[in-house]
A and B are shown apart, each in its own frame.
Chain A
Amino acid sequence: MTTATLPILEAVVVVVAAPIAGVALCAHRHRVASRAVGVFGFLLFASAVWTMSLWGWSAAALRIVCLSHAMLAITGLAFAALGAWCRATLRDPLDAAAVSTGAALVAAFGLFAAGPAIADLPTGIINAALSSNPIVSTASAAGVDLLRTDLLYRLSPLAHRRFEYPSWYSGLALYATLLMIFAAGTTRSLRKGWS
């Protein structure tokens, strides 16, 4: 493992853990959820400091670490909000966990699992799919050429097609929008209650 692998691994952890955390926290009071967000923020901060210490303290590294951790933060909150929304909508917490984690996994890994079907799509659609992928967006914000890493380059036909990585702001904007939609959906569902 090299230091550039860190943001990718962190993104994978966030994709899996955030929806489950959202499901778990939905049943608790607002104060508990706020504390959990605080802990998440602290963990991200600690990770950013650790990454900086590994990459070396420079303006370029600081920019990359800030952008990739901002991406991690926003995707984590968006997926947690998705988990909370599922919990507020579905009676069974296990159903909520399964649906929200499943959706997060599809968002993160569907692109790589689809294989040649995706690779034959027009470049614009491929680029849009890459923009909506939380792992690609985080890796891209960290300046990591994810699709040309050895394993993906060998296995994914996508890596051999023309594509553009998403800009950091497009990924942030997309997941900020999703966060607002999921948070609004959660609030609305909680007010309505399980009918």
Chain B
Amino acid sequence: MNRSSMFVAASLCLVLFAPLAAGQRASSGGLSAAVKQDMMKSLERGAAYLRQQQRADGTWENHAGITAVATAALLKQTGVSREKQLEAVGKTLDAIAKLAKPDGGIYESSIPHYITAVNIMALAAGGRPQDKPLIEKGRRYLAEHIWDEGEGIKPTDKWYGGIGYGGSNPDRRADIISLEYALRAMKESELPSNDAAWEKAIKFLQRTQNNSETNDQGWASNDGGFVYYPGFSYNTEGGTKSYGSATYAGVMSYAWANVKKSDARVQAVMKWVRDNYTLDENPGMGQKTVYYYYLVFAKALQAFGEPTIVDAKGRTHDWREDLGKKLIGLQHPDGYWVNTDKAELQDNKVLVTAFSMQALEAALQ
């Protein structure tokens, strides 16, 4: 073979095999085929654990919220037919539908806003035609419980546009996590993007963000991240310093509320994300609620739509690959995940497994 023939052959090889090699990483963002396969296997083990723990009536842990999160995790599992999924959770969706109240809420008794939000997500993931009216009423229930003039709260009030736990609670307070759940449920149930609830929510979001240029609250600094509610943070260092799960909940909420990537508020929060990129802990909280952190980390970055994050030191992170490897490493041989820190029910294997599965599922999209 002469030199020119060799050149032609090498070029042909490049043309033929380069797309194949690129294809190995093209699906699910930048995931390599090997990690993707491991993530799918990890999901299968998680799903098997959830099915093992499911009660005869289709529910889990005698808890409406845990049941809904586990149901959504199984229904969103990639690579499983809808028929097979409904075989596992059809009864569960029936049980959830039975919780529907005349006002649109879907809950038993306590924390009605949270429970309605996760139940809407489960019903929406199920996609059954008979659940559509419940989903529509439920999302309206959530949209109407976002605080506004109807509750006597003016746009200048720090709670305006937020949502709390609901029920007859003596406090009037909202928080970023309750709002994130409500907005996620509204988004997944396809509340129209021109609904007034989104705009109201943005008001609360920007008052929860440490970004003094857009936050009219005196306490706001400029790290770009989010706190639990205006003027209060769970960051273990105290004060109103931002922390991980609240911040990713903020990123995701901005995305759901159709705030553009180029917006100054989104740019500010993404700076926090770059400055604090880690999967070893929930930044500012340690191991506390770290699995909820993984969930919002995945959903927020998936909604943001960038396959990589360049951290403050200039290192490029393929967040999907990082998260996949991290969660696979944390999975127990029996298929479950559990947190060593008990706060917010993260000692519950079913709930934490469902969170982890949903994080993996978001990373695989």
Contacts and interface: CB of A to CB of B under 8 A. Distances in A.
Given A162-B348, A165-B110, A144 B343 contact: no
A136 interface: no
B344 A149 contact: no
B354 to A, nearest CB: 15
B345 A162 contact: yes
Interface residues of A, number: 21
18 contacts: A1-B170, A2-B170, A5-B170, A8-B170, A64-B168, A119-B342, A142-B168, A143-B167, A144-B169, A145-B111, A145-B167, A145-B168, A148-B169, A150-B171, A160-B343, A160-B344, A162-B63, A165-B110
A149 B169 contact: yes
A76 B173 CA distance: 31
Nearest to A3: B170
Contacts of B110: 145, 165
Nearest to A152: B171
A92 interface: no
A161 interface: yes
A72 B63 CA distance: 29
Given A2-B171, A149-B170, 5 more contacts: A2-B170, A4-B170, A143-B168, A144-B170, A148-B169
Interface in A31-80: 64
A157 B171 contact: no
B232 A2 contact: no
A145 B165 contact: yes
Contacts of B345: 161-162
A150 B343 contact: no
Interface residues of B, number: 17
A145 B344 contact: no
A95 interface: no
Interface in B207-240: 232
A62 B235 CA distance: 42
Interface in A1-21: 1-2, 4-5, 8
Interface string B341-365: 0111100100000000000000000
A154 interface: yes
A4 B342 contact: no
A98 B216 CA distance: 50
A145 B342 contact: no
Contacts of A165: 110
Interface in B9-55: none
A161 B167 contact: no
Given A145-B110, A145-B165, A165-B110, A157 B343 contact: yes
A150 B165 CA distance: 11
Nearest to B61: A162
Nearest to A151: B171
A28 B363 CA distance: 74
Interface in B140-172: 165, 167-172
Contacts of A119: 342
A114 to B, nearest CB: 15
A5 B167 CA distance: 13
A176 B172 CA distance: 34
Contact of B172 (A2, A157, A160, A162): A2
